[in-house]
Amino acid sequence: EGRGMEPSSSPLTTHVLDTTSGLPAQGLCLCLSRLEDQGQHWTDLRKSYTDSDGRCPGLLPPGPMKAGTYKLSFDTEGYWKERGQESFYPYVEVVFSITNETHRFHVPLLLSPWSYTTYRG
């Protein structure tokens, strides 16, 4: 419950883990955008922060997603600065395509000051 995986929740979820501490990345600012105008312009859909579990519930309203190209931008520099940590990547952008509007999509991010990993969950 409350983790964004129940049927009435957002069709898009994310979960960010801080691999340096082994804990969820709480308070990480992120922005969800969609590519519009035949690939010429990104439209911001939602700006938010990860919760205490490293998740960001409600990225999109419940229901089908619009097919297209999306981007999750994570402010990793801000996250690491808050922790007094130098880092190499000032932000991480994960760009992905939605072709089946009825599927659910989970985009995890494993994060350290010097690397990151993502995959379709």
Amino acid of residue 28: L
Quote the strand ranges of the chain, DSSP E: 12-18, 23-24, 29-36, 41-49, 68-74, 92-98, 105-112, 115-118
**119 has binding-site annotation:** yes
Q: Is 70 among the annotated ligand-binding positions? A: no
Rg (CA), the chain: 14
49 annotated ligand binder: no
Closest CA to 16 of 86, 84, 83, 94: 94
Q: Could you list the residues known to form a binding site for substrate, using ranges.
A: 15, 55, 119
Residues of each annotated binding site: 15, 55, 119
